[in-house]
Amino acid sequence: MTNQDNALFGVVPIIPTPFTENEEIDEAALCRLVDFAIDGGIRAACLPAYASEFYKLTDDEKLQVVRVAVKHAAGRLKIVAQSNHPSLKVAIKLAQANIEAGANVISLAVPRIFSLPENSLKEYLSTFLQAIPDTPVLIQDFNPGGASISVGFIQNLMEENPNFKYLKLEEPLCAPKFESIISATNDQIGLFEGWGGLYMLELVPIGIRGVMPGLAVADILQKIFDLRSAGQTTKAFELFEKVMPQIFFSLQNMELFHYAEKELLMARGVLSNSIARKAAYIPDPSSINYIRELNDRILTLVNDDAYAIRPVASSIY
């Protein structure tokens, strides 16, 4: 595999983990989610990440969803395999298994269970990168309790590890930092924005490579990304303003996001339930009604010929 073959651009959504009534992984539903991404013009997708409830999956299940996605995609969609684990040894083992399963890119979150100095994080990330030197790696840093990894850290990590190709950051007011990273790395690191794509209109002109939102609105955000990249600012803002309420509401709580995301995928005809593994968010009646209202607005949007997104799936059966 060449780096160009595995280049990531545009919207790279997180595929949620679908479950049966007894909370087992629903492989048939997972295949429908892969098809939904492909039909929406998505070129790469990631799993199992935070938005896939990876923290509720066993290590065998994490590998299972990657295998199913790779096999069903059959080259139609690049698969970014998240290999998170606070144990470096386990993370490497999982990454190697994901590569063996056919993943195109490996993703790893900076371990943030407890606060660690940058030299500890550097050792963790460098050793991981060196364990899979022939595979492109995307590093994700989500640190609600403090700053993400520094620009100098990123530059040194890139210089020492040629397979460090992508970086995903999830923090507000990050435009100056993104600009500094692009400058320090000579734009050799593909930058992705997370957090549902909430900051994408601010960051596209700076030169980010793409965004990594939830799957249910990925086709809409791909349209927005393309419009903004092409300089069609008014159209990009108009469309973004229509989808932003759904994104903003669901991101108030990660477990709420799972429920809202799967409810929208049900509304769009892809999933048959919105089950998340327990412990899961139990929405109050007001939230349930509001999510339905938000989802109805998304359905109206995707069926509006003026925006040329795509129709709702006719049936999941």
Q: Which residues are annotated as a binding site?
A: 212
* Cβ–Cβ under 8 Å, residues 149 and 121: yes
Quote the CA–CA distance of 50 and 112 in Å, as a whole number.
13
Instruction: Identify the three-state secondary structure at position 293.
Output: helix
* Cβ–Cβ under 8 Å, residues 249 and 243: no
Pull the structure tokens for residue 91: 């993370």
Quote the CA–CA distance of 284 and 115 in Å, as a whole number.
34
H helices of 185-232, where? 200-203, 218-229
**Exposure pattern of 270-298 as b/e (b: 16+ CB <10 Å)?**
bbbebbbeeebeebeeebeeebeebbeeb
Assess whether the previous peptide bond of 184 is cis (omega < 30° from 0): no
Determine phi and psi for 192, rounding to 5 degrees: -125, 145
Quote the CA–CA distance of 64 and 70 in Å, as a whole number.
10
Which residues belong to the annotated binding site for pyruvate? 212
Q: What are the percentages of helix, strand and coil residues in the chain, rounded to 5?
A: 50, 10, 40
Q: What angle do CA 231, 155, 166 make, to 5 degrees?
A: 50
Residue among 315, 217, 265 nearest 19 (CA): 265
